Chain A
Amino acid sequence: MLTLTLRHRDPVPLEAECVCPDRLMSMAIADIGRLRVWHGNRQTELAEHFQITGDGSDGRVRVEGDCSRVKMLGSGMASGCLLIAGNAGMHAGARMTGGELIIQGDAGDWAGAEMSGGLIRIGGSAGNLAGAAYRGSVHGMKGGMILVEGDAGDEVGASLRRGIIAVSGRVGDFCGVNAAAGTIVVGGRVGARAGAAMRRATIVTLGPAPDLLPTFHVCGTVSPTFLKVLARHLESHGFSGAEKLKGRFVRSCGDMVSLGKGEILYQAD
Chain B
Amino acid sequence: MIPVDALPILDDTFAEAFPLTAAKVIVTADHPRLALSAARAATGNASSIIGCDAEAGIDCELEPHLTPDGRPGIGLLFFGFSRPALEKALVSRIGQSILTCPTTACFNGLPVDPDKALKVGAQLRFFGDGWQASKKIGDRRFWRIPVMDGEFLVEESFGTTKGVAGGNLILMCRDAAGGLDAAEACAEAMRGVPGVILPFPHGIVRAGSKVGSRYKGLKASTNTEYCPTLASRVSTKLPPGTAVVYELVADGLDLASLEESTRRGIRAAMDCRSVLKVSAGNYGGKLGPHHLHLRRIAGADFGYGVARC
Measured CB to CB, the residues of A under 8 A from B are 143, 162-164, 181, 183, 200, 202, 222-226, 228-233, 246, 261
Contacts and interface: CB of A to CB of B under 8 A. Distances in A.
Contacts of A183: 135
Nearest to B104: A225
B71 interface: yes
26 contacts: A164-B137, A183-B135, A200-B133, A222-B150, A224-B144, A224-B151, A224-B153, A225-B28, A225-B69, A225-B144, A225-B150, A225-B151, A226-B135, A226-B142, A226-B144, A228-B71, A229-B68, A229-B142, A229-B153, A230-B135, A230-B137, A231-B70, A232-B70, A233-B137, A233-B138, A261-B131
Which 8 pairs show the lowest CB-CB distances between chains A and B? Answer: A228-B69, A225-B153, A225-B105, A226-B135, A233-B137, A229-B69, A229-B68, A225-B69
A223 B70 CA distance: 13
Contacts of B28: 225
Interface of B: 28, 68-71, 105, 131, 133-138, 142, 144, 150-151, 153
Given A183-B135, A261-B133, A232 B68 contact: yes
Nearest to B65: A232
Contacts of B153: 224-226, 229
Nearest to A162: B136
Most chain B CB inside 10 Å of its own CB: which residue of A181, A223, A226, A233:
A226
A226 B132 CA distance: 13
B151 A228 contact: no
Given A223-B150, A226-B153, 10 more contacts: A163-B136, A202-B135, A224-B151, A225-B69, A226-B135, A226-B151, A229-B142, A229-B153, A230-B135, A232-B70
Nearest to B135: A226
Nearest to A235: B70
A222 B131 CA distance: 16
A226 B145 CA distance: 11
A225 B146 CA distance: 11
B281 to A, nearest CB: 43
Contacts of A224: 144, 150-151, 153
B71 A229 contact: no
A164 B138 CA distance: 9
Contacts of A226: 135, 137, 142, 144, 151, 153
A202 B70 CA distance: 21
Contacts of A163: 136
B68 to A, nearest CB: 5
B138 to A, nearest CB: 6
A181 B150 CA distance: 20
Nearest to B106: A225
Nearest to A164: B137
Contacts of B136: 143, 162-163
B70 A228 contact: yes
A200 B69 CA distance: 22
Nearest to A220: B150
B109 to A, nearest CB: 14
B239 to A, nearest CB: 55
Contacts of B133: 200, 261
Contacts of B137: 164, 226, 229-230, 233
Nearest to B28: A225
Contacts of A246: 70
A229 B139 CA distance: 12
Contacts of B138: 233
Contacts of B70: 228, 231-232, 246
Nearest to B152: A225
B188 to A, nearest CB: 32
A261 to B, nearest CB: 7
A131 to B, nearest CB: 14
A223 B71 CA distance: 13
A202 B151 CA distance: 15
Nearest to B29: A225
Contacts of B134: 181
A181 B135 CA distance: 8
A222 B134 CA distance: 17
Contacts of B131: 261
